[in-house]
Amino acid sequence: MSSKVSLTRYLVEQQRIDGHIPAQLRLLLEVVARACKGISMAVGKGALGDILGSADSENVQGEMQKKLDIIANEVLIEANEWGGHLAAMASEEMEAIYVVPNRYPQGEYLLLFDPLDGSSNIDVNVSIGTIFSVLLKPEGAGVSEQDFLQAGTQQVAAGYCVYGPQTTLVLTVGDGVAMFTLDRERGSFVLTSEHVQIPKDTKEFAINMSNMRHWDTPVKRYIDECLQGVEGPREKDFNMRWIASMVADVHRILTRGGVFMYPWDKREPEKPGKLRLLYEANPMSWLIEQAGGAATNGQQRILDIKPGKLHERVSVFLGAKNEVERVTRYHSER
Ligand code: AHM
Ligand code: MG
C-alpha cells in the first residue's frame, strides 16, 4: 500500500477508477468524515469540555441521553444539511426524520446515523463511535420516513468512526472495507488498511454474559458449547470480550476476528432485540459481509430484512462466517 493516501485521495480514486462513487456521494462521505473529526475533538476534551454526563432528556427509545449524544447529533446535522447532497437524515437521537430545510438545495441521498454509539462508555473514557449508513432516496417528489425503509442491501455506503486511543474511520462503498486513521497533527484521515478480511473461524466471542438467564435456547447452547472449551464439542478454548460499544466490538472483529452477538432476550420479549436495524445493524452487517464475514438475526440475513419502521430493533449475530452460520443453524434446529 502506498504511504499517506488521504481519505480524499482514496475517494477521488474510487470515483475515477471504478466510477461507482458519484461526486455527490464522495462529497457526502467527506462531510461525514469531517463531522467525525469534530466529534473526535469533542470526545478528546473529556472533563475539560462541557461534554460529560447526562443531558437530563430521553430519546425516542426511552433511553437517557448523554450530553455527547446530543452534541454528536448536532455536529452531524450541521455539517450535512447545507451541502446539497442530502434530502434528509435520520438519527437514533431523533424521533422523526430531519428533512433538509428549504433554504438549502436538496440532494438525492439519505443519511442515517447513530451519532454516539456506546453511550454508557462516554464518561468512563472507553472507546465509543459514530455509525452511519447511506441510501438513495427513491424517485418521487418530497421525502418521507417511508423512503428510509429500505433493506440493507440497498445501502450505497456505510461505515463507522471509532473514538479510542486512535480515531479510526472504517468505510465501505461496496468494494471491500478500508480503514483510515486520523493523523491528529495534519487533521486528515490516512488510509491504514485496505481489503480487510475476517477469518472464517474464531476462538473469541462477544456477548453480554449478564443476560444469560434471559437468552433463548439456541444462544444458550452456542455459548455453553464455547464455555466447555477443549473438553466440549468445540474442542477448543474460547476467549470473551465485551466492550459495550458495538463500534469498538465490531472494530476488534474487523481487526483480529471474532463473533459479536446481541440476541433477543426475555427481559423485553416484545422487542426483537436491543440494537437498531437501520443505523446500527445494517451498516455493521454490510461492513462485516464486505470483509468476508456474515450477519444474521438468527433466522435470516440482516441485510435482507425489509424494515417496517425507522427505529426498528433487531437481534444481531455477526462476524466470523462459520460461527454465525453455526448459531443461526442452532436457531433452526430447536
Ligand atoms: P447506544 O446506541 O444507546 O449506545 O446502545 C447501543 C450499545 C451498543 O454499542 C452495545 O453493543 C450495547 O448497546 C451494549 O449494551 P449493554 O449495555 O446491554 O451491554
Ligand atoms: Mg448505538
Domain holding 88: CATH number? Answer: 3.30.540.10
Instruction: Calculate mean pLDDT across residues 91-103.
Output: 96
Instruction: Calculate mean pLDDT across residues 137-155.
Output: 96
Choice between 44 and 59, residue whose per-residue pLDDT is larger:
44
Instruction: Calculate mean pLDDT across residues 120-140.
Output: 96
| Count of structural domains, the chain | 2
Residues of the chain above pLDDT 90, percent: 87
pLDDT of residue 66: 81
Task: Annotate 297-321 with b (16+ C-beta within 10 A) or e (fewer).
Answer: bbeebbbebebeebbbbbbbbbbbb
Q: Which positions ≥6 away from 40 have C-beta within 8 Å?
A: 161, 163, 167, 182
Residues of the chain above pLDDT 70, percent: 99
Angle at 22 between CA 176 and CA 246, to 5 degrees: 40
Residues 59 and 174 in one domain: yes
Residues 261 and 329 in one domain: yes
Domain termination site, one of 129, 160, 194: 194
Residues 101 and 156 in one domain: yes
264 contacts 273 by C-beta, under 8 angstroms: yes
Residues 7 and 104 in one domain: yes
Closest alpha carbon to 34 in 121, 108, 130, 105: 130
Residues 102 and 44 in one domain: yes
Ligand 2 centre to CA of 127 (Å) is: 12
* 110: pLDDT strictly greater than 60: yes
Residues 220 and 164 in one domain: no
Residues 116 and 256 in one domain: no
* Residue type present at position 200: K
* 71: pLDDT strictly greater than 90: yes
- With a 6 Å cutoff on the Cβ, whether 114 touches ligand 1 is yes
Angle at 98 between CA 174 and CA 58, to 5 degrees: 105
- With a 6 Å cutoff on the Cβ, whether 63 touches ligand 1 is yes
CATH of the domain at 219: 3.40.190.80
pLDDT of residue 38: 96
* 1: pLDDT strictly greater than 60: no
Do the domain assignments include residue 296? yes
Backbone angles phi, psi at 222, to 5 degrees: -60, -50
- With a 6 Å cutoff on the Cβ, whether 246 touches ligand 1 is yes
pLDDT tens sequence across 21-38: 999 999 999 999 999 999
pLDDT tens sequence across 267-283: 999 999 999 999 999 99
Instruction: Calculate mean pLDDT across residues 288-316.
Output: 98
Residues 157 and 135 in one domain: yes
* 40: pLDDT strictly greater than 70: yes
Counting ligand 1 atoms within 8 A of each CB, the residue from 207, 262, 285 with the most, and so the one to mutate, is: 262
* Residue type present at position 320: A
C-alpha cell at 255: 481487526
Q: Give CA separation, 215 vs 49, 135, 162, 209, in Å.
A: 40, 33, 29, 10
pLDDT of residue 305: 98
Backbone angles phi, psi at 138, to 5 degrees: -60, 155
Domain termination site, one of 168, 194, 220: 194
Do the domain assignments include residue 320? yes
* Closest ligand 1 atom number to CA of residue 61: 3
Residues 46 and 171 in one domain: yes
* Closest ligand 1 atom number to CA of residue 119: 4
pLDDT of residue 52: 83
pLDDT band at 147 (very low <50, low <70, confident <90, very high): very high
pLDDT tens sequence across 157-193: 999 999 999 999 999 999 999 999 999 999 999 999 9
Number of CB atoms found within 10 A of residue 26's CB: 19
Do the domain assignments include residue 39? yes
Ligand 1 centre to CA of 134 (Å) is: 22
Residues 32 and 172 in one domain: yes
Instruction: Calculate mean pLDDT across residues 54-80.
Output: 85
How many whole angstroms separate alpha carbon 289 and alpha carbon 303?
9
Do the domain assignments include residue 120? yes
233 contacts 289 by C-beta, under 8 angstroms: no
Do the domain assignments include residue 182? yes
- With a 6 Å cutoff on the Cβ, whether 244 touches ligand 1 is yes
DSSP state for residue 138 in the 8-state scheme: P
Q: What is the pTM of this model?
A: 0.96
* Closest ligand 1 atom number to CA of residue 128: 9
C-alpha cell at 253: 472483529
Residue nearest to atom 7 of ligand 1 (CA): 118
pLDDT band at 67 (very low <50, low <70, confident <90, very high): confident
Closest alpha carbon to 171 in 189, 153, 151: 189
Ligand 1 centre to CA of 63 (Å) is: 11
Residue entry with cell 471491500: 176
Ligand 2 centre to CA of 237 (Å) is: 30
Residues 284 and 189 in one domain: no
Residue entry with cell 463473533: 259
Do the domain assignments include residue 208? yes
pLDDT of residue 51: 75
Ligand 1 centre to CA of 79 (Å) is: 25
Do the domain assignments include residue 199? no
pLDDT of residue 50: 78
Instruction: Calculate mean pLDDT across residues 125-147.
Output: 96
Residues 171 and 36 in one domain: yes
- With a 6 Å cutoff on the Cβ, whether 117 touches ligand 1 is yes
Choice between 56 and 177, residue whose per-residue pLDDT is larger:
177
pLDDT of residue 17: 82
> How, if at all, do strands 204-206 and 259-262 pair?
parallel
* 155: pLDDT strictly greater than 60: yes
Do the domain assignments include residue 264? yes
Report the chain's mean pLDDT, rounded to a whole number.
Answer: 95
pLDDT of residue 27: 95
Domain termination site, one of 194, 223, 241: 194
Backbone angles phi, psi at 136, to 5 degrees: -90, 140
C-alpha cell at 238: 474460547
Instruction: Calculate mean pLDDT across residues 240-245.
Output: 98
Tell me which residue range forms the domain holding 46: 2-194
